[in-house]
Amino acid sequence: MTARPPKLPFVAILLFAVALTGRAQVKVTADHNTSATATSAFKFKNVPSPAKDDLGAKAKLLLVDGELDENGANPSALIDGVLPTEEDEPARNLFFNAGTVDRPAARACLGARSKC
């Protein structure tokens, strides 16, 4: 069994990026909690916590590059508002197969003004 990279930072950054893409001016902010400070509350210093009712909740997602790991969740896990409650919860985290691409990418279309 191979070690998997931490999932919480990837999910938090992607959710925040999805929430920001609906604005005229996009500002991407990334934040990270170490294993010692990460909790199921998903509280970050510079990034708001994920929400079930934000613009990203109705987004259409498209995998742009990378291969999803079959042991993880499908892309809807990024927008369903259901957060992992434990550190190792593959069914609630989207992750990619190691070595399938250097920089995995997904695209989110946030509404009528987005061209998907």
Angle at 110 between CA 41 and CA 39, to 5 degrees: 10
pTM score, whole prediction: 0.57
In this predicted model, what pLDDT tens digit does every residue of 92-110 receive, in sequence order?
888 888 888 777 777 888 7
Domain ranges of the chain: 1-109
Name, in order, each residue with C-beta under 8 angstroms of 116's C-beta and a sequence gap of 6 or more.
60, 62, 107, 109
- The pLDDT of residue 2 is 58
